[in-house]
Structure 1
Amino acid sequence: MLRLRDDYRRAQLAIAALFCFLGFQYATWVSRLPALKSRLDLSEAELGLLLMVCGVGAAVSFPLVAALMRRLGSRLLATLSALALGLVLLGLTVAPNYPVTLVVACFDGIAVGCLNVAMNAQGAALEVKYRRTAMSRLHATFSAGSLLAALLASGVNAFTTTLSVHFGLAAVVLLLLLGLAQTGMLTDDRKAAAEAPEAAEPQAPKKRRGLTLPSRVTIWMGLAMVFGTITEGAMNDWSALYLKDVVNAAPQLAPLGIAVVSVMMVAARIFADGWRTRFGDGRIVRFGSLLAGGGLALALLAGGVVPTLLGFACVGLGVAAVTPCIYVAAARQGSDALALVAATGTTGLLAGPAVIGFIANGSSLVWGMAAVAASAAVVSLCATQIRWPALGGADDAEPAAPASAGPDGIAPPEAALREA
């Protein structure tokens, strides 16, 4: 029993290193946007396009990611995409002009899409193998990676503003995280997975490999992910402006909006795996998104700095476990479903803040934030249509099918996993 626990902890730490890796890498280069803007003499519009190209690369990577997941498996794909993301920092350092930088940013988005799917497949597989909830804490380490990147950027800037020095040190950190990931990532037994269906149905005709149309459940998962990430992204982009322009908070209080949401999300994700075990993923998503939408709606009606911050805290607390739970459910539908849901999540993060901006421009920021509250409510509605896995805790959904389930059942993304 002790041996099993040791294996679980080693795998959990290795997969957490992947999540930390992605948060650290993205926050590292985004934190130096002012330096990139200055070095390449970019306008605000060109800088915005640079960020959009990165997001578009991640959003449109779905077909490639799905194919690579089937061909390489999550472990190898995670390793290769992590190495590619390390090269992105080098590319941004030496890119001679704006067009080349755009290409590097697009490449970064594609690699982010690959690692995002691979690491969430690893996290879902960890839960399936050991029958323990872990995904929320893994997502918390993503936020920890972003915080670590911010601290490193601040420390390096205190001594030098040279981009190559900063990105060189960051690359060392990334290599250390990738090395840690290699010590315990899970790997799929392809031979066993391939032979299982043939043994169960020897006369079944072979199916064409390739992308298939998403199932109804997958579509509901994609919708839930879109509106969930719209809620997260919009709070990060618009909370400070709402406090400043609508609530008339003092300038020093305006940044507290982002801080409150971020702190509540990290804290909730640390404890959310226990809540998932006790109450089940379905209830966590439904009631959490209702808390986020209802708390924000009440804050908009009440006005004032304190009610607004309390409403923002409800959003952070309520949505913290939404995306981890959806990733687990999508992964159990297969790698294609996971890739599609991950792509829709990126689309929500990319398009959501812009949509809120259009609404605010056409009416007011109050209505824009009301749309954020409505997005959270839509997540709760979508969650009622999703078949949630039951992992060691109470859940009102029917249990997930075993790994050998047929095309109508829910199976883990990696049908037969053993520890590396």
Structure 2
Amino acid sequence: MSAPPLIHPVARLPAARWAARTQFFCSGFIFATWGVHIPTVKAHYGIDEAVLGLAMLAAGAGALLGLARAGRWIGRHGANRIAGAAGCCYALLLALLLAMPGYAALLALLAVFGLLTSVFDVAINTEAAAIELAEGVPRMSGMHGMFSLGGMAGASSGAALLAAGWPPFTHLAVVAGAMALAIGVAATRMLPASHTASASADGGGGLRDAGGPLLVLGLLAALGLVAEGAMYDWSVLYLQQELGSPQQQAALAYASFSAAMAAARFGGDALRARVPSTRLLAGSALLAAASMTVGLLTHSPWVALAAFAGVGLGFANVVPLLFAAAARVPGVEPARGIAAVSAAAYLGFMAGPPVIGLIAGASSLTHALSVVVLFALALAMSAPLAARGAAR
């Protein structure tokens, strides 16, 4: 049976646009809260970097399961329903991070956390693609800017509340409740289920669609997201452990990275209109590599914070650029292409932090974070492949 024609109710688009922005903001806020409390989790369960990296690997395994099913679930139920259900549960799990009876239970929790994270992210990216297509105006960079803004807000507020003496469990519980409420309300304003369901018909947007040009674009996005995920999960611990910063100052590592990324993403759509995509992608990756090198060589926490902001500027538009290229792949529905590349790229996002943890356990966190430099350089050299993938 052929899919029903897509209907774009103009009156609903402004509300849907802001609902999607809210969902991206909440996703960033939740992830930042987890990032701020990685040292807390490490201390609470008495584990080292290698064991913490394995816990993150459990989240990656859960994400793999989610990615294998996300396209099918969205195709069947629509992005609005999946985003609402997965996002609310994802938020509420924050409250349990310090409540597990032991390390084994923490592994199980993080596996479910990873599954819900990946499903939620694919759903909101599919929604963003549908809105961009309906309006005929670039929106993807701005949507991802809201994720970064949420990350900045989550990290900054977390640092402030820790400095004010808030107990970590209280902070996690308050954020969990507030984010679940915001996600649930926003889901009611998203596009109708029939719209995004048909855009991802027959389970489209999953890993099995990531073949040919989409596989190339997904692998390039994975390069950027390995490095981005490493910054989210390890930058706070780097400042605290390697440079001796107190936790409230260390939390600013995530905030500086996310703030710079948000600023660059909000201007990213206009920049994409002026600079060829290949040149913009290569230049962005080189900026990230140079900034991260400075951050790893300095002994000053404040210089490191500035360097991490440079990394954020560099990586800001990598994913929006590649998603835009996925929307132009001949013979592939734009929303389906974006969902597929999102799914493939998410592997990098989830794989990066555990790899960093394992390397850090064998040597040092400084050496482990050199992976960010290497992957940024690889992305810069591979930038022409993005244009080729979209032109095939």
Between the aligned residues of both structures, percent identity stands at 26
Give the Cα–Cα distance (whole angstroms) in 2 for the partners of residues 160 and 370 of structure 1: 35
Instruction: Answer whether contact 1:113 1:342 (CA < 8 A) is retained.
Output: no
CA offsets, 1:277-331, max 9 Å, x none? Answer: 44465554344335545x559979x999899998766543332111122234446
CA offsets, 1:256-288, max 9 Å, x none? Answer: 976664443221111112222444655543443
Partner of residue 24, structure 1: 29
Partner of residue 128, structure 2: 123
Task: Note if 1:43 corresponds to 2:47.
Answer: yes
SS at match of 2:174: helix
Give the Cα–Cα distance (whole angstroms) in 1 for the partners of residues 140 and 221 of structure 2: 15
Give the Cα–Cα distance (whole angstroms) in 2 for the partners of residues 289 and 52 of structure 1: 26
State the TM-score, normalizing by the size of structure 1.
0.70
Partner of residue 93, structure 2: 88
Q: 2:167 pairs with 161, 172, 176, which one?
A: 161
Give the Cα–Cα distance (whole angstroms) in 2 for the partners of residues 304 and 37 of structure 1: 23
Instruction: Answer whether contact 2:284 2:318 (CA < 8 A) is retained.
Output: yes
Task: Note if 1:353 corresponds to 2:356.
Answer: yes
Give the Cα–Cα distance (whole angstroms) in 1 for the partners of residues 369 and 100 of structure 2: 41
- Which structure's residues are more often helix, by fraction? 2
Partner of residue 320, structure 2: 324
Instruction: Answer whether contact 2:57 2:350 (CA < 8 A) is retained.
Output: no
Offset, 1:113: 0.4
Instruction: Answer whether contact 1:356 1:368 (CA < 8 A) is retained.
Output: no
Instruction: Answer whether contact 1:62 1:339 (CA < 8 A) is retained.
Output: no
SS at match of 1:132: coil
Structure-to-structure mapping, 1:219-230, within 5 angstroms: 219-230=215-226
State the TM-score, normalizing by the size of structure 2.
0.74
C-alpha change, 1:259 and 1:340, in structure 2 (3 Å) is closer
Give the Cα–Cα distance (whole angstroms) in 1 for the partners of residues 319 and 122 of structure 2: 13
Instruction: Answer whether contact 1:78 1:119 (CA < 8 A) is retained.
Output: yes
Partner of residue 410, structure 1: none
Partner of residue 201, structure 1: none
Letter in 1 for 2:58: V
CA offsets, 1:215-257, max 9 Å, x none? Answer: 2101111211121123334556479969x98xxx997999997
Partner of residue 177, structure 1: 182
Task: Note if 1:52 corresponds to 2:57.
Answer: yes
Q: Which deviates more, 17-26 or 340-349?
A: 340-349
Partner of residue 374, structure 2: 371
Q: How many residues align?
A: 370
C-alpha change, 1:352 and 1:289, in structure 2 (3 Å) is farther
Partner of residue 211, structure 2: 215
Q: Which runs of no fewer than 5 residues in structure 2 stay unpaired?
A: 1-8, 328-333
Give the CA RMSD over aligned residues: 4.6
Give the Cα–Cα distance (whole angstroms) in 2 for the partners of residues 209 and 288 of structure 1: 27
Partner of residue 77, structure 1: 82
C-alpha change, 1:96 and 1:367, in structure 2 (3 Å) is closer
Task: Note if 1:271 corresponds to 2:267.
Answer: yes
Q: 1:344 pairs with 342, 347, 350, which one?
A: 347
Instruction: Answer whether contact 1:234 1:356 (CA < 8 A) is retained.
Output: no
Letter in 2 for 1:383: A
Letter in 1 for 2:107: L
Task: Note if 1:334 corresponds to 2:339.
Answer: no
